Structure 1
Amino acid sequence: MRLRKGKRRQVEGRAEVDDRSGAPAATPGLAVELRGVRRQYGRGAGAVQALAGIDLGLPQGTFTAVMGPSGSGKSTFLQCAAGLDRPSSGSVRLGGTEITGMSENELTELRRSRLGFVFQAFNLLPSLTVEQNVLLPVRLAGQRQDRRRAHAVLAQVGLADKARRRPGELSGGQQQRVAVARALVTRPDVIFADEPTGALDTGTAAEVLGLLRSAVDTLGATVVMVTHDPQAAAWADRVLFLADGVFADRLERGTAEQIAARMSVLTSRTGAAAGVAA
């Protein structure tokens, strides 16, 4: 399948737009681009606005952490940005490719071939070996399974000697490193990580975050991570803070202490606003 890219044209001297959807043209150099993205659940008086108009561009080869109070829209943001959920309105591009209007089959192929995912629960198949788990995205995409590539990424995450093991024989940290290797095996445009260290102890979490950091610094990958942990967010180039479905603050290269302080202020603001609304 050929992924559809937005066609550009000039309209009466105005900025270029996508002549298929009317959305603004893609911005060069951005790995992730959301314009006017809204996501509403339900209708009428009971409707919930999970995302209330997101405008965001993340450059290629960067590490971004997304934080926010409970219910701020973090998970919805990640799902819409990764093509796992469809926004109610707005435009989402990954690597310049407009994905909003793609069919489910096209989205599935894009996720298998151009995106990597790391989840808190590891999501490894217990009946498969470590090597088979790593190669699963390649197999599902119908591509040739390159065992040399699998061993290369396993070596990158320090598990070259565990290829024949099964997930149940590994520690939690080792299983998450397998998940990172699986995310890297297709050389993805973007790696989306959802609370990747939530089930790990501090030392093991640092190892996994170091792997994601290395993927950015040495492989040129783009990482977008949702986390509640300031220590994890401190590994990122920037931290974006969500509140009530919009990005309310950002911090460049912050320490864990600075990030925690920003989160505390944001949480107190949103709590106060909720109290007023109640």
Structure 2
Amino acid sequence: MSSHEQIPEAVSLIGVGRVHGKGTAAVTALSDVTVGISRGSFTAVMGPSGSGKSTFLQCAAGLDRPTSGTVRLGETDLSGLNETGLTELRRERVGFVFQAFNLMPSLTVLENITLPLRLAGRKADREWLAEIVRRVGLTGRTEHRPAELSGGQQQRVAIARALVTRPEVVFADEPTGALDTVTAKEVLVLLRDTVDTMGQTVVMVTHDPVAASYADEVLFLADGRITDRLAGASAEQIADRMTHLGAWAA
């Protein structure tokens, strides 16, 4: 008998559908999506505009409720939670990184990073906080305001904020979309590092094949369905697959 226990997936979607609107105005954003994302993995989600990428992320993260199917975070079925339960889950078990950084301009770097803890009524673990600040390269910048930082530094603050609660999953929505190529690479290396050295689980929506090439696996969405998965692919292979996706999805 194997002594290896089955580790529950970080996130699993089972037969998930999401329809926006009703009747003749109904638009299907996701259709019967079933996928599991392993703990300690970096997954990129790609697809043409309107393919359902953002809806996938919102349903997986508990920001939006699917019309059908089941979403689980670890062993928690999200459909069994009321709005208060979902808010607590998002605050304590999930981290978010967005294209627009979403920092509070009046707060310092340190205050922005610890904001999720304050909202949850929890004190920061000083050692963990120092470790996060060091890892994201913000040592010596913690008393600055966002306006005093570059775009790349602001995104590092956002990543630190996402990590500070020790979330089960970090969801990143186009995290390099507002950054230049060099800065984008720094942010992607940082996300990759959180997976490799901290065992973090990262799910990233991106339109950029170079960004996606940092992931362990790429999920391709077209017309609300997962049409392909590529593991360990180069930017060129991913771009080539996206080209065909566009052709067949039309």
TM-score bin, normalised by smaller chain: over 0.9
> Letter of the aligned partner of 1:99 in structure 2?
L
Matched, 1:137 2:137: no
Superposed, which structure 2 residues align to 1:1-278 within 5 Å?
A: 28-271=7-250
| SS at 1:247 equivalent | strand
Paired residue secondary structure (2:190): helix
- Structure 1 position 264, deviation (Å): 0.3
AA of the residue aligned to 1:135: T
Q: Look up the equivalent residue of 2:128 and give its one-letter code.
A: R
The SS at the match of 2:10 is strand
User: Unaligned regions of 5+ residues in structure 1, if any?
Assistant: 1-26, 272-278
The answer to which structure, 1 or 2, has the higher relative contact order (CA under 8 A, 6+ apart) is 2
Q: Is the 8 A contact 1:42 1:48 kept in 2?
A: yes
How many correspondences in the alignment? Answer: 245
In 1, Cα distance between the equivalents of 2:239 and 2:63? 29
SS in 2 for 1:30: coil
How far residue 218 of structure 1 moved from its aligned partner, in angstroms, is 0.6
Let me know the Cα RMSD of the aligned residues. Answer: 1.0
Instruction: Check conservation: 1:193, 1:224, Cα contact below 8 A.
Output: yes
Q: Deviations over 1:193-244 (max 9, x none)?
A: 0000000011110110111101111111100000000000000000010001
Q: Which has the larger radius of gyration?
A: 1
TM-score of the aligned structures, taking structure 1 as reference length: 0.86
Contact 1:236 1:253 (C-alpha < 8 Å) held by counterparts: yes
**Structure 2 gap segments, 5+ residues each:** 1-5
Cα distance in 2 for partners of 1:198, 1:253 equals: 22
Provide the rounded CA distance (Å) in 2 between the counterparts of 1:204 and 1:134: 20
Q: Is this contact kept in 2: 1:119–1:193, CA < 8 A?
A: yes
- For the 8 Å contact 1:28–1:96, the answer to whether it is kept is no
What TM-score results when the alignment is normalised by the length of structure 2?
0.96
